[in-house]
Structure 1
């Protein structure tokens, strides 16, 4: 240990430290300046950025001893306060730059360093600065962040004032449709919003720290676990194994499909007899410090018998493949589609038939904040688990039996969450925390490393989808045939549901009267499949939207015109036979048509040696809901100072606090309340069950529940003369103050497992994608240079939020198309190698065009938005690559080496096609 003095935010701070300890850890653990976030721990994300002598430095990468010589360290806590914000903090809130907010302090500190040197940067200089300093964001698509820097620079130059960007309520008194700031924005831009790892700093002194003992192989029988050496190591309190778990030691997938051949109890909390995938948790070490726990975890010996590992859907379906879960076939669920007449004779007589077989990748979520959480037993004997869960009541049901805890003795709480994009629809860390807490009877915390976060959380399930389309000579679609499988990894939870998505969305958007298809869910030993934004639709649209382009070429038609000719119109039904709630696909195509024509002309005129440009198009559709019957609850309570809203609308960056506030404020307008008079109590299992925050359902379902509960309160407050009772009036008249509303969807049902027919969703989102790409003919590298999109997500509840969701979704779609993958367990272990896009990988030139068609069942006409922008940007990008250079890529990501291979095939006079299995 050594005594050093570091100067932080203008104050000399004497410290006794390990000189090798990282500056970020000292700031967080000893000075409690948790505005410095640690996410990747290897300099790849920039969330830990602080200024040292005005230069942006990644605090997770440097030892504290390097800065004990009078260097001036500035953190986010030192540049502004809620009462006196830095211009960057002001404009960041205005542009919705803090979505999940975990990257926000690092970005603002990096931007401050730039603007302190140059108050007149160009947009490209801002983007290059962020790119060079490895500032990464997974939520925003970077454009709003650049907007914020440019406006902050204008304030610093004196051309604009902070007041221009201050919080305002429109003259009509409604914040609906405005750019009103989310309630969490101020805390996020000042670094005071506490994420999961920050909450650990608030835990009691007797909190134990956990470390996992994980599988280092993908498939094996466990012959023995020896923890004797680990138990003797300093600080170790206990090594927890399956023997310490009193319940079923399994997480239930809540199987609801009767034709599923499994029982849903296939994921162990801690492995007992078998390892099913790399990273499986085998034991947990509880120790006094993180370092002690991790050191001891390395000493636990696991004796294994290696088994064949089936790392993709093809391998697991081979005739000689053993059952990964003995007694359950590797193909454990099948889904059919039967609509209209038999397709075979139609296909035989059609003027044009094409087939596209595609493979969508095991896309990693690449959320910056690693999985984290804590658990404790409160004074009432209730086990409380705090985590990043986006399905509190769902997860409660999934882990209770496995832990052996009565439901009334388990509470789940969502911490402020640094992005999930769906992976937390599945429980990950919750049951492990609960098992450890029960075993040691002390508070516990567990924070994954980024390596663990990437290798041991769910991923998008790869999908192999084959689509055959038939059309007449005029381009009218006559029939479609589909065949698909989904590689859902070793654990079945929601795998059957994912497989139904291919039936729902392959060919969606078009009037196809005759469909035949069959698909299946396959168990493998690669990463388990979890929900990912646009769940299931990227696999479907990759195939059908490339097939549409192939068909247009065969017919000699413009790709937009073919889509327009076949778009949903009255009389058409979806692939599941449902009548669309609105008919907008043709209108969106017409809206974007002038941009499409401009892009075609621009790409044709492009003339740079060694490069080609092209434009592509696709449509994407997604439903709001969880398939069939669905509901959500919320409550409104009148108080002496205003109204309190209770719900469990879990927030993973999409802005549930703002959604809750906006729906409540709009409905309660007769009371003339200011937004600050509406208090939000959210996201514990003590709140009403609002359902999980997935499937873009919350805006519709929870929004309706909030609206309903507020209307019930208003009805109770209303006097016969039309005025409203006060709080004192209500108390005096003994009228209840709290009203629980529950909204239940009407007219929806699950699709049939044989025919695929049904009405799964009450509301859909619709979007058209038009990217322009540049292909380097020398290297095969593809760059998206411009992206135009037209979307209809119903009534826009908050403009900045919806813009941000679409920009961010497009960025993730570009990553899915070109760079992102989790396939190689030796390579794909960090953010950079998994293909996380940085600012220069995403175009600054992104344009959103909106239709606002009110939805009959939507609150104030709203649909959802989060899934829409990631439904189908990737096939549009692959179509643009083909338009640019004639190479047809049938799998993602379209890495440079694949494009170059196609270019070489073309140069050799061979078909320039990169097939799904290549």
Structure 2
């Protein structure tokens, strides 16, 4: 195909080792309770998963240990891996006393994992009209010294390079490489920032070669009925055409504004990127939640939905409120639990944008069982006293498993049955004297299915976009001394994040396998904002940044004609 295709482009890209840079460092404590059970409180976002991972190392059976996930603020994915749980647990066992462990910030930065870099070679073939014919990839994942989750991360490259587009022929090779660099751990959008930066910048290169507008080539190739994604499955919804049509007037206005406002010193540019991420852990992912009727006629949702800033509290309350509408229960009458493996069911980890889909669906089922059981012949519902009098259960169990199919060795399957989709528009200014890039505005067209809580999802999208700006321009972790602080790691300053961020929701595409049509949200905003910024930099000043971050030094080198 590549030998015969009229339009072929090929390039190499590198997305860097990104530090998570949470405000709070890693911290936790452990003690032996009155029943002789080792209780470990930490920032774990996979309580049941981590219990099974660390129990053998501590020489304990699973019922001799319990993990508790306290309200913790952000982790952005690093706590998908156990970090200090085993250490503080061993200290408590050795001393017989309560113990705590709090890393200082240097320890936090050096003892916890980072986003693993991808070295990517990628090639597109297209016909005379710009329709994609084929994609070929060859990429290496530098996962550091440990294999933990490295195979799954490498699979993400096969799932997300070229995602968003109908590509009939795909061939590729991904390799996980162990190195003596910092160890790799999950990071928000896990694998898609590395994948989509490569395919989205190459898409602009293809458009330029053909003489097409970047918007036009995306509109021509985006998912439509009959398309398949890189995993060989047909997308569950087709929102891209509508989102691209909605962003086009903003894109055209932005191009005119950039042309009008550019000077010899300050060059303005505009860039687009497609965004996509799956909701879940590959294949038949599952969750469990309970709904319990209390003596005061409130309802408690019992689940292990770990909250690391993404809104587990409102996710549980909002989903249960929707499910219990027939009972007329107001949100203030709905309670929820924090994860404790000795008291809560296994709801799975808070990663992969899975909880709203998986645990939300388990909550929906548990509440539905409650409604069926407590409904009276006149259509009203029993109170607690009436339920006890009628010998009705007070606890209702919801279990949910999505009909996913794990990918085979060729990356083909149905790894996720619910995805999130988006389109980013970045507007930037490049100072040609200093090389400094400023992001003037970011726009995101977001399809996350039906929105549970608008304030929570707004916060997720704003925050992810801010992280994407840091990934694009400043964040890095190559030098263990230089980068082991917030400032050294490239944490963006407030002035680096524009106040002008526009989010537009598309809720006309409810998800069959999400509760009340909802998808997830957490990973979408960090999947490809940096790619839109990279394309905007090129539009502004002709410098294509192949090796992130796009520091001033690289921009100046690019303006001198060097490859950066």
Pairwise TM-score range, normalised by the shorter structure: over 0.9
Match of 2:563 in 1: 913
Aligned residue for 1:548?
203
| Structure 2 SS opposite 1:615 | strand
Shift of 1:609: 3.8
Residue 406 of structure 2 corresponds to residue 750 of structure 1 = yes
Partner of 1:828: 483
Residue 355 (str. 1) matches residue 5 (str. 2):
no
Indicate whether 1:377 and 2:27 are aligned.
no
State the partner residue of 2:309: 653
Shift of 1:913: 2.7
C-alpha contact (below 8 Å) 1:374/1:443 kept by paired residues = yes
Question: What whole-Å deviation, never above 9, does each CA across 1:670-705 have from its counterpart, x for those lacking one?
Answer: 222222221212211120110000000001001101
Contact 2:271–2:535 (CA<8 Å) still a contact in 1? yes
Counterpart pick for 2:519 among 850, 863, 866: 863
Distance 2:560 2:261 in 1: 22
Distance 2:11 2:215 in 1: 18
The yes-or-no answer on 1:736 pairing with 2:397 is no
> Could you say which residue in structure 2 is the equivalent of 1:723?
380
Equivalent residue for 1:802? 457
Partner SS state of residue 429, structure 2? strand
Question: Equivalents in 2 of 1:599, 1:644: separation in Å?
Answer: 49
Of residues 496, 500, 509 in structure 1, which corresponds to 2:151?
A: 496
Aligned to 1:388: 43
- Aligned counterparts, 1:493-892, within 5 A: 493-641=148-296, 642-685=298-341, 686-746=343-403, 748-753=404-409, 755-852=410-507, 853-892=509-548
Q: Which whole-Å CA distance do the structure 2 matches of 1:465 and 1:438 have between them?
A: 46
Instruction: Say whether the 8 Å CA contact 2:327–2:380 is kept in structure 1.
Output: no
Matched, 1:453 2:103: no
Q: Tell whether the 8 Å contact from 1:615 to 1:879 is kept in structure 2 after alignment.
A: yes
Deviation at 1:418, TM superposition (A): 2.1
Moved over 4 A (4+): none
SS in 2 for 1:484: strand
Computing the radius of gyration from Cα coordinates, the structure with the larger value is 1
Unaligned 5+ segments in structure 2 are: none
CA–CA separation in structure 2 for the residues paired with 1:410 and 1:875: 44
- What per-residue deviation string (whole Å, max 9, x for no partner) do you get for residues 608-649 of structure 1? 341101011110100000000110100011111111110000
Say whether the 8 Å CA contact 2:70–2:338 is kept in structure 1: no
Give the superposed CA RMSD.
0.9
TM norm structure 1: 0.61
Deviations 1:436-465 (A, max 9, x none): 111111100011101111111110000111
Point out which structure has higher relative CO (alpha carbons under 8 A, 6+ apart).
2
Contact 2:267–2:432, Cα closer than 8 Å, also in 1 = yes
- The separation in 1 between residues aligned to 2:335 and 2:505, in whole angstroms, is 32
Once the 2 structures are TM-superposed, how far is the Cα of residue 555 of structure 1 from its aligned partner? 0.2
Contact 1:356–1:546 (CA<8 Å) still a contact in 2? no
CA contact (8 A) 1:356 1:544 kept: no
Correspondent of 1:424 among 55, 67, 79: 79
Per the normalisation by structure 2, the TM-score is 0.98
C-alpha distance in 2 between matches for 1:674 and 1:549? 50
- Number of aligned residue pairs: 561
Show CA shifts across 1:329-365 (max 9, x none): xxxxxxxxxxxxxxxxx10011110012111110001
Equivalent residue of 1:486, what SS? strand
Alpha-carbon separation, structure 2, partners of 1:725 and 1:699: 28
Displacement after TM superposition at 1:721 (Å): 3.4
**In 2, distance between residues paired with 1:678 and 1:850?**
27
